[in-house]
Structure formats: structure tokens, C-alpha cells
Structure 1
């Protein structure tokens, strides 16, 4: 991702209100614009007055660049529907603070907009944050029309007690709200494929009084095919066979498998029918499946024209919203979605404001969806979907009260096991890899590791600075055993990176970047729960950002490896053995901190 340079720093409100005003005029809501802008300000105050930083402390999951709000426009007939989705920002970057911020918005909605929160109160205790690894806790949205009153809804996180508890959370929530039979319908979906391929990711409630007030359950589908999506969506009353396949083929060329980012399905239930969903919606993360926004625009033009959707309305909206040439980035069109409303197609565009970052245009070849993933792509996807943060030690670290001595022991062992010799070991692999394309990517990563030529910015030096900043966290008693996990990992790393077959070292490098991203985000959250001054933690904040790009490069590396059984097996062996070594490393730290 390219960080946007902002010579004149803006607040979230200043940046968002300009986009929102342009959307209001383009959507034919000029008369309501002052009222809508005032509503936006009241719902996002006071956090929207904060100056936008390139890398925020809280990584909001609403947008790819972590902006804590998103605009969307639904096209159905001649009158667009404008929506605002936002995450109330807490005073501290942790789930408890964000939960309290969300509850304050709830109270504002009751006091000012007279919404009905009875159903939320019935399930509030289920969604109280208990797993600090969860990506969000409470979001809100408002739907706006030119000639109707606004409607509100909120989003809750089924994974708030951990991914493994998401199904139980959904089941209990539906039972309490009177949708007892709905769980059986949804359980059939999540049981159709291997464990982990389909997961409950969002639960939303309409905050209104009518019989048509919905509950919606969202599922994330990893590595889904259009055929599978057809099967999933067919449980909804409004579904028309063939819709999913046609939509996927129109939005993404050569669609066979959605592996870049999972597609999401959503099912709505209304009071009086808890067996059959009243509607099913397909959410496609188009930003990850198109080279740039101009290509997305062209695909939408074709689809709107074919289905007699309001093309002129779409053109007005995207021209008003975009503040850069569409071909110069990928991400304004974040999602496109399809559902049937009274048997008519309803297309929704989810528009990212790109307050923090702009994704550069992608290589056209990189966005094509493979007919079937290669064996090495499957390895990368497996380790992406099965995060190292599921390890019992990291789970305990996140779920319990922050423990600085345990963090110190963990990082001291990371220093000894990985950081001290990482650059030298990676350089050893680079020198012996005979494929220049692979060598280029690894060399770029090594250049980042070595501070882009600035010795004071090398990651090893910055890590030493970090350890100095947290010296007071050091346990009272330190022995040789304190560093045993790091020494054992270091010995393994030396062997795998110097293996005579450099492709074994390449497999290790691929997994290290994936696990590094997951580890850095987890540890970053823990640091933000402490009182340590983040300016002294530059290694961590910089690594959080760099590892996102490096981990993405792992899939590219997997695709570059020649289709040779010998090379594939070497990379697989290096990857799997490295993952085992990292698991053993965390086992050792767990023993030190929580069992000894």
C-alpha cells in the first residue's frame, strides 16, 4: 500500500464531510444535505475531530486502509439509497474502550433518533468483549433517502469470544431473539465444507419497531467458487438461480475460485418466519479482484446496462466521490453486492474514502483467479487462515489482564531466536536462489530489514531500542532457561536457512512473513494496552505496516516457484518445519510464563 502524503492535515470529519456532501448532491438529496451532514457530525463527534494519521493506533476493520467509516450507495429503481457505516472510536486502542464508545452511540440514537434497542439489550451480554484478538466489537450504520426518514442498525461481532465460539454465539443470539429455527438453516451452510472454510463474521440488527425489522447473519467464505455460492444463497426466499454466477463473472474475469479475499454472504430473517431467510446478499470484495478502479467502473457499466439499472446515477455518484483518477489506484470500489428486492436486482457499492492509504494499481495478472490453487498457494492460504494467534499462549496473553513481564520474555526470545541473525540468514538464501524474480522479492524484503541503507534504521537496531524502552518489564529473576526457547529457535533457523537446498530456506522465508504479520498485529495490540510510549516502539509500528506487504508477497512467491515436484516439496518441507519450530517456540514461552 502507498501511504498518502498529506501536506495539509485534515480531521476525519473534514475529510469525510466533503465526500458525503458530494454523494448527497449526486444522489439527489440536496435538500436534505445540511441535515445529513449535521447527523454525520453528531454521530462521529468527538473522535472525528482527530487529525488523520498515516498509520492509526486502532486498525479499523471497516476499510482496507483502516479508515473507521465507509459510505455506500444502493441502486434499486431510480432513487439511490445512501448509507454510512462507522466505528465509534474509543479513548484507548482496546476492545473495552471501543465497546463503551459504541454504547454511547446507542444512547445518542435513543435520545435523539428514538431508535428501539430492546433486541440489543436482550443479547448485549453475549457480545461483551472477552477476546482481545477480535477485530471489532460494535459498529453502527444509517440508511438515508431523499423522501424517507433515516433508519439505523448496528453490527456485532460473533467472534467476540474467539473464532471457535462464533457458531455458539450466533445460535444463542438467534434463540434469545425468537429465531429458534433459523440456526438449523444456517448450520447447514457452515457444515457443508471443511472446518474453517466458512465462518460467521457479522451479526446485525435493524433498530426499528416494525414487523419488518431484520436480523442479518453474515458468513465469510474462504476459497469459494461461484457454484458453491449458488448453493449457499439458494436457501433465501428471494434468490433467483444463476444470479451469483452471473454477478461473479461480470465483476471478475475468469472466475473459478475466490482466494484473494473471501466473499461474504448475508441472510436476513424477519419476525414471523424463522425458517427461511427473507433475503440473501452476496458481497464481493471487488478491490481485490480488479487491477484498478477504472476497470471496476467498466465492469459495472456493462452490468448496469445489461440489467437496466440506473447507469447515469452510478456515473454521477462515482464522479462526485472520486478525488483521484480511477486508473491510478485500486480500492475506491471496496465491495460490490447483489440481492433481490421484490424480485428486482439491487446493486450496492461500498466506497472507501482512502483517508489513510491508497492502494496502487495492481498487476492485471495478479488479480486473475486461478482455476484451482497450486499446492504452494494452498500452503500459503492455509497458514493465512489458521493464524498463529490461535496458539494457547497468545490467546491467554490477549484474553487476560495485560502482563508486561510475559511480553518481555516473549520479545527477548524473539530477539535471540529471530531478530539477531535474520538479515544474514535471508541474504544466504537470496545468494543461492537461481530464479531472478524470486530473488528480487526477497531482496526487497532484505532491503527493508536493513533500513533501506540507513544503519540506524535497521530492524535489529530498532528492536534493541524497543527492548531498552521496556527494560522495566524485565522479570526479577533471569536465568539461562529464560532464553531457552529463543536459543532453540535460533539453532533451527540457522539450519533451515543454510540448508544446501535454498528452496527449503525459501519455504521458511514465506512462512516467517505470514506468521510475522499475525504476530506483530497481536503484540501491537498488547503494547497499546500498556502505558509504554509508542515513539520508542518504532520497530513494532513500522513492522506492523511492512509485514502486511511482505505477507502479501508470500502468495506471489508461491506462484513464482517452478512447477517441479522437487522444488515444491522442498518449499513445503521448509514451510511446514518452520511452522512446527515456531509452534515449539511458543510452547516453550508458554511453559516459562504460565506453567513453570
Structure 2
């Protein structure tokens, strides 16, 4: 009898997800196998090789489907390169080694990353991660990296992000976010600078993104966060969060996350997304599924693909756990407005369903 490993579990899920999204499964499996390295061969029964923060059960891979009006949803993989020293999960060495290997095989541009990499380099990295990878499975795979603004500590995250975005020509737009979108006195505190992200390609649509975790946010805080972006409707953002979470705030469990898309020399961010950690605001995955199903229908997307995607990842009853449907997000602005859903592999465990959600 064969022993199931992490990579065989992820591969089986990718094969089924590719049937929903039309992704190139061979490329997806190749990339994930390389990313996980020897940790991918580790038997699932042995538990995770390190406490990856990508998912609640420490599986270092999360799936997402980006729904947009142009066609079938795009399959994406958020993953963490195998950590060589569990005591130092923020070390960039394994993540950079993965990128260099992929640069020799695919269209990966390291130019913008190299302009800021020294800011995220230290002999004493802090935090639960240094770099994560997003693998976007279009006809030709695309690559994105998430860097940790708090790698030198929370207190240094604000000047680090300011310097990084300034080097990339987005200093003016970042100032607009700080002055007009985030809560006064809360930047780096209640509004934590969580991810500094870069598309690794040389095209006009390549993005620079900043993700902000907004702890204990009220609806007015979410409206303020969105209003700085031209074309974003603050009322729509507030309504989306209320529908996903099931109430009107304050959102005092896992924080709502706002992300801003920047391009060089623009005075304001050109895109905005809001992410609701729906697993923290439901009793079980049946409730999460129903809410996401409603949101997809509201925005005119094919809800049958949601059902197929969930079935591709798990066969368990949705009432038997919580955390499979981890996040749901609303994307506003270029390059592809729409709704995204985030699904946990649950390779190492299933979150315990709650009998009820605490009242507000």
C-alpha cells in the first residue's frame, strides 16, 4: 500500500481543479513539485515539515480561483518554498533559489525584485515568512512574490514600505493611501502592512501591490480604505464585506485585508481589492459556501464552477469542518475586476466546525 505524501495530495487536487479552470495541469504539478522540494515527498502522516502560515493546518499551499467576465476562472496557487530551517521561516534563501530555477524555464523578470530585495534581506529575519509565491496558471504561467514588510520587525515596516514603493516610482500613490485611506495613527499598528507584492514580468499590466490588514475595522474604515482609488465604490465594498461576514462589523476576528495596486508615477493607486477571511465569520464550510455562492451569483459568475472547485479539493461534508473556504475577495480596477475564492488543501487537518458564531 502506497503512502500518501504532500505532493501526491496536492497533485490529485490540481488534476481535478484543472478540469474546472482549464489550467495546464502538467505545468502546475511541475511548479508545485519544485516549490515543495523534499518536503513534498514527506508522508502526510508525519505532519508538516514546518509551521507554514499559508494555511491554518500549516499546508504550504493554498488554491484560489479568480472569476472574471473574460472566461473561465483562473487557477492560482499560493505556496511557500520548502523551509530549510524551521527556526528561521523568514529566510529568503529557498524562495530565491526557486525563482532562479524558474527564470531559466519561464518568462520571469527579476528586475523590479532586485531593486528592492536588499530592503528585505537580513541575517536576523523576523516573522512567520520571508517570501511566498503566487503561481498564476494562464496559458503561460505567471509569477508573483509576496514579501514580508515586517521582516525587520513591526516597527520598521512603515519606512521599509515607503522606501520600497519610492524606488519603484509609487511613492506619491503610497502617500495618498497613508494620508487618505488608512486610519490616522494606526499605520503599522491597527493597520498592519502585511504583504509587499510584485508581479515578476515586464508588461504594462505588471503590478506592485500593498496589502494592509485592518484589525477591528468598522464599515466606515472600509469605506475610507476604498475611497482613495478612482472608480472604487466604497458602498459596494462595505456591502460585500457585510454579505461575506454575515454582519456589518466591527470585524474583530481575523482582520479584513485591503490591497492597493500601484503603477509607476501615478498619483493614486489604480486598483483595489478587499479580502474577507470568511472562515472566521461562519460556523462551518456549508455556511461559507452558501455566502460565496450568493456573492458569485450577484456578480454574474457561474456558480456551478464553485461547486466543482470545492468537489475537486474535498469530498467531506461541508458541515463537518470550517476553513476549506478560507477567503473571498472583491477585485476593483485593472487588470481584471471580479471575485476570487480561496480554498485550503486541508492536507494536514480540518478545522473544527463551530456550533454557532458569537453574537455581536
TM-score by length of 1: 0.57
Report what 2:158 is aligned to.
Answer: 167
Per-residue CA deviation, residues 79-112 of structure 1 (Å, 9 max, x unaligned), is 1110011110122213378421011012112111
Q: Determine whether 1:178 maps to 2:169.
A: yes
Q: Counterpart in 1 of 2:66? A: 74
Q: Which of 195, 203, 207 is the aligned partner of 1:202?
A: 195
Q: Deviations over 1:269-288 (max 9, x none)?
A: 12342x21111110110011
Matched, 1:267 2:264: no
Post-superposition CA distance 1:140-173 (Å, at most 9, x none): 111113xx32211111000000000000110111
| Structure 2 gap segments, 5+ residues each | none
| Alpha-carbon distance, 1:306 to partner | 2.5
Deviations 1:341-378 (A, max 9, x none): 46985111111111122111112233x4x2xxxxxxxx
Task: Determine the structure 1 residue equivalent to 2:309.
Answer: 317
Q: Is the 8 A contact 1:214 1:271 kept in 2?
A: no
1:370-419 residue CA offsets vs partner (Å, 9 max, x unmatched): 2xxxxxxxxxxxxxxxxxxxxxxxxxxxxxxxxxxxxxxxxxxxxxxxxx
Q: Deviation at 1:72?
A: 0.5
Residue 339 of structure 2 is matched in structure 1 by: 347
Shift of the 190–94 alpha-carbon distance from structure 1 to 2, 3 Å rule, reads farther
Q: For structure 1, which segment, 221-230 or 131-140, has the greater mean C-alpha deviation from structure 2 after superposition? A: 131-140
3-state DSSP of counterpart to 1:112: coil
Which has the larger Rg? 1
Q: Quick one: distance in 2 between partners of 1:110 and 1:326?
A: 39
Q: Which of 335, 353, 357 pairs up with 1:361? A: 353
Q: Which residue of 2 aligns with 1:149?
A: 140
- Provide the secondary structure at the position in 1 that maps to 2:44: coil
Q: Deviations over 1:538-589 (max 9, x none)?
A: xxxxxxxxxxxxxxxxxxxxxxxxxxxxxxxxxxxxxxxxxxxxxxxxxxxx
8 Å Cα contact 2:272/2:331 also seen in 1: yes
The SS at the match of 2:64 is: strand
Greater mean deviation of Cα atoms: 166-175 or 254-263: 254-263
TM (norm. structure 2) is 0.92
CA distance in 1, matches of 2:335, 2:140: 24
Q: Is the 8 A contact 1:238 1:343 kept in 2?
A: no
Question: 2:22 maps to which residue?
Answer: 28
Matched, 1:11 2:1: no
Given that 2:328 and 2:340 are in contact with CA atoms closer than 8 Å, whether structure 1 keeps it comes out as: yes
1:338 aligned to which of 324, 330, 341: 330
SS, match of residue 166 in structure 1: helix
> Secondary structure in 2 aligned to 1:217?
strand
Q: CA deviation at 1:340?
A: 2.0
Shift of 1:308: 1.6
1:97 and 1:242 map into 2 onto residues whose CA distance is 37
Change (3 A) 1:75 1:96: closer
Equivalent pair of 2:82/2:94 in contact (CA under 8 Å): yes
Deviation of 1:296 after TM superposition, in Å, equals: 1.1
| 1:71-110 matches, cutoff 5 A | 71-77=63-69, 78-95=71-88, 98-110=91-103
> What does residue range 501-520 of structure 1 map to in structure 2 within 5 Å?
none
8 Å CA contact 2:174–2:268 kept in 1: the answer is no
Partner of 2:114: 121
Q: Could you tell me whether the CA contact under 8 Å between 2:190 and 2:216 is conserved in 1?
A: yes
3-state SS of the aligned residue for 2:92? helix
User: Greater share of helix residues, 1 or 2?
Assistant: 1
- The secondary structure found in structure 2 opposite 1:242 is helix
Equivalent-residue separation in structure 2 for 1:163 and 1:297 (angstroms): 34
> How much does 1:246 deviate?
1.3
Q: RMSD of the TM alignment (CA)?
A: 2.2
The answer to whether the 8 Å contact 1:251/1:286 transfers is: yes
For structure 1, the 5+ residue unaligned runs are 1-6, 371-596
- Give CA-to-partner distance per residue, 1:482-539, whole Å, 9 cap, x none: xxxxxxxxxxxxxxxxxxxxxxxxxxxxxxxxxxxxxxxxxxxxxxxxxxxxxxxxxx
Cα distance change, pair 348–156 in 1 and its aligned pair in 2 (3 A): same
Q: Which has the higher strand share?
A: 2
